[in-house]
Structure 1
Amino acid sequence: MTTLTETERGTGAGRETAPGLLARAGWAVADSWVVARRYLFHLVYKPDELVGTLMVPVLAVLLFGFVFGEAMGAVMGAPGEEYREFLMPGLFALTMAFGIGNTTIAVVTDAGRGVIDRFRTLPMAPSSLLVGRSMADVLSAVVDLAVLAGMGLLVGWQWHNGPLPALAALGLLLLLRLAFTWIGIYLGLVVRSPEAAMKFFSLVFPLAMVAETFVPTDTMPDWLVPVAEWNPLSATVIAARELFGNTTAAASDSWIAQNALLMAVVWPLVLLMVFVPLAVRRYRRLSR
C-alpha cells in the first residue's frame, strides 16, 4: 500500500501540487526564452531580414512625409511638419501590422525545414515553441519602433504629453503586435509554403490602408467610414495619437473613435482569444 505525502493529502491523490505547478511554469518560461533567443540570434546573424522589414515604413516616412505629405496635409489643413506628426503614429501601427508577414513566413519555413518537428522531440515544454516565437517577435518590434521613432524625430515628429503617456502608447502598439504575431503563427502553421504565406501577407495592405494610418476616416467615402473606424488598426492609431499628443485632426464623433483607448486594448485581446487557441490546436495536430 502506498503512503501519501503531506502535500498529496492536502491536495488529493493524482492532483498536481502547487510547487509542481510553479516548477512547470518556470520550466515553460525558461524554454520559451531559449526559443526566443534562437530567433533573435537568427536576426543578428542575418540582419537583412530586419532591414527588409524596416524598409517599407522608412520609405513610407519619406514618401508620405515629404512627397505626398504636402498634398495630403493640405486636404487636412495640416501641411508639412503638422502632417508628419499626424502620420508617425499611423506608421508605427503599420509596422506592427506588417509583422504578420515576417511571422508567417518564418513559421512556415521552420515547418518546411523540419525545425518544428525537431523541437517537438526535445524534452521541453510543449508551449515553449509558440510562446518563444511570439516573445522574439515582440522584442524585435521594440527595435522596429526605436528605429522608426528616431526617424520620426529627424523629420520633426515628437511626443507632447510626457514620457508616461508615450510609454503607454508604445505599450498599445506592442500589444497590437503581439496579437498580430499569433495571427501570423496560426497562418504559418496552416499554409504549406512561403509563397502561399506571401499571398496572405498581401491582405495586410487593405487592412493598413482602410484605417486611420494616413488620413482621417472622415475624408473617406461614406460607405467606407464604418469599415475604417472598426478596423482594429484604427483604434490603436487614434489612441497612440492621443497619448503622444499628435492629434492634428479632430477625431470622429462616432462611438468607436471616442473610445479608441478602450478599443486599443479590447481589439488585441479579442484577437488573442481567437488566434492563440487556434494556433495551439493547429500545433498539436501537426503530429497526427
Structure 2
Amino acid sequence: MNASVYDGTVMVGRQLRRVRNNPGIAILTQIMPINLLLFFGYVFGSALAMPGREYRSFLVPGLLAATAAGGVMTGMFQAAQDTHRGVMNRFRTLPVSRAAVPVGQAVADLVVTTLGTIPLLLVGLAVGWRIEGTAAEALGAVGVLLLFRLACTWVGIWLGLASRSEEAAGQLGAATFVLPLLSNAYIPTGNLAGWLRTLAEWNPISAVTTALRRLLSPTLSASLEQAGTPHAWPTAHPVAGTLAWCAVLIALCAPLAVRRYARAEG
C-alpha cells in the first residue's frame, strides 16, 4: 500500500476512535436537525402558505443541507483542539505524510456524517416526507450532500488550524448556525427584500438545498420554482451551482489547510 494512503487510513481510524470516545459534538450536530424538523415542521408550517405536511417535505432537504454545512463547525473545533493541545506538534514529529492528518479528519467526518444522517431521514419519513425522485436522482442527492459536507469540513479544518485559540474557534464555529438562516433552507426566498434575497440565493446552502429538493422532491421543487424564479445562477442551476461551490471551496481550503498543518511553528 502506498505510504501516503496508509498514513491517511491510520489517521481516519484515529479520528473515528476520537468520535467514539467523545461523541458529544457528533450527537449534538445530529440531534439538532431532528429537533428543528419537529419544531419548525409543526410550528412554522402552520404559519406559512404551505400545508403542514408540504412544509415538512420542504424542510427536510433544507435540514440535510444545514447539517452538511455543520462540517465547518465540527472541522474547526476538532482541528483547533488538536492544534492548541499540542497534538498537531506531535504528529509533525512522526514520519507521516503532511496531508495525512487533515485528510484523515475530513474522511472520518464524512463517515460519521453518513451514519448520522440516517436518523434525520427516518424522522423525515415518519412526519410525511417522501423521496419522489428516481433511484439515480436519490443517489445523486446523496453524492451532492456528501460532497458539500466534505467541502465545508475542509473550510472548518483550515479555520481551526489558523485559529488563535480553542475558545475562539468554538465561538466562531457556533456563529455558523446563522448561515442556514440566510438561505432557503427554512423558508422560500421569493418574498424576501431584494438585497436579502440576493444574499440568500448566493449562499452555498441555498444551492445545495435547491439541488436536494429538485432531486428528491421534483414536484415540490417545480411548484416552488413557479412561485418564485431564482435570480442567482447557483440556485437557478442548483446541481451545477453546488458542484461549482464545492470545487471552489475544496480547491481553496484543502491546500491551505495542508500548508497550515505543515508549518513547523503550528
TM-score range, shorter chain: over 0.9
- The RMSD of aligned alpha carbons is 1.6
Q: Contact 1:100–1:181 at 8 Å: present in 2 too?
A: yes
Alignment of 1:181-220 (within 5 A): 181-220=153-192
Checking the alignment, whether the CA contact within 8 Å between 2:106 and 2:154 is kept in structure 1 is yes
* Preserved CA contact (<8 Å) 1:86 1:246: no
Alpha-carbon distance in 1 for matches of 2:22, 2:260: 29
| 2:21 is the counterpart of 1:49 | no
Q: Secondary structure, in 3 states, of the residue corresponding to 2:224? A: coil
Distance across 1 between alignment mates of 2:230 and 2:80:
42
The 10-residue stretch of structure 1 (48-57 or 89-98) with the greater mean CA deviation from structure 2: 48-57
| Aligned equivalents of 2:57, 2:101: Cα separation in 1 | 38
1:45 deviation in Å?
2.4
Contact 2:61 2:185 in 1 (8 A): yes
- Pick one of 112, 123, 146 that aligns with 2:95: 123
TM-score for both structures, normalised by structure 1: 0.85
Percent identity, aligned pairs only?
38
Please give the residue correspondences for 1:226-241 in structure 2 after superposition, counting only pairs within 5 Å: 226-241=198-213
Aligned length: 260
Deviations, residues 252-288 of structure 1 (Å, cap 9, x unaligned): 2435232111111010101111111221221222437
Task: For residue 152 of structure 2, give the secondary structure of its aligned residue in structure 1.
Answer: helix
Deviation at 1:246, TM superposition (A): 5.1
8 Å contact from structure 1 (residues 36, 135) kept in 2: yes
Runs of 4+ in structure 1 off by over 3 angstroms are none
Compute the displacement of 1:199 (Å): 2.3
Q: Which has the larger radius of gyration?
A: 1
* 1:68 matched to 2:40: no
Match of 2:231 among 241, 244, 254: 254
Establish whether residue 150 from structure 1 lines up as the match of residue 122 from structure 2. Answer: yes
Task: Describe how 1:1-288 pairs up with structure 2 within 5 A.
Answer: 26-72=2-48, 74=49, 78-245=50-217, 247-248=219-220, 249-251=223-225, 252-256=229-233, 257-287=235-265
Q: Which deviations, in whole Å up to 9, do the C-alpha atoms of 1:75-126 show, x marking residues without a partner?
A: xxx2111110110000000011122111111111111221111111122112
- TM-score, normalised on structure 2? 0.92
1:102, 1:192 → 2: CA distance? Answer: 17
5+ long unaligned stretches in structure 2: none
Q: Distance in 1 between matches of 2:110 and 2:231?
A: 31
Name the amino acid aligned to 1:67.
V
1:205 maps to a residue whose letter is F
Shift of 1:57: 0.8
The answer to whether the Cα contact below 8 Å between 2:37 and 2:63 also exists between their aligned partners in 1 is: yes
Q: CA deviation at 1:208?
A: 1.1
Q: What are the Cα deviations for residues 147-173 of structure 1, in whole angstroms up to 9, with x where unaligned?
A: 211111111111111222111111101
Amino acid across the alignment from 2:258: V
1:100 aligned partner, one-letter code: V
1:151-203 CA distance string (max 9 Å, x none): 11111111111222111111101111111111111111111322201221243
User: Per-residue deviation at 1:231?
Assistant: 0.9
Say which structure, 1 or 2, has more relative contact order (CA 8 Å, 6+ apart): 2
Structure 2 Cα separation of the partners of residues 266 and 198 of structure 1: 28
Q: Matched residues in 1 for 2:178 and 2:168: separation?
A: 18
SS at match of 1:68: helix
Tell me by how many angstroms 1:145 deviates: 1.8
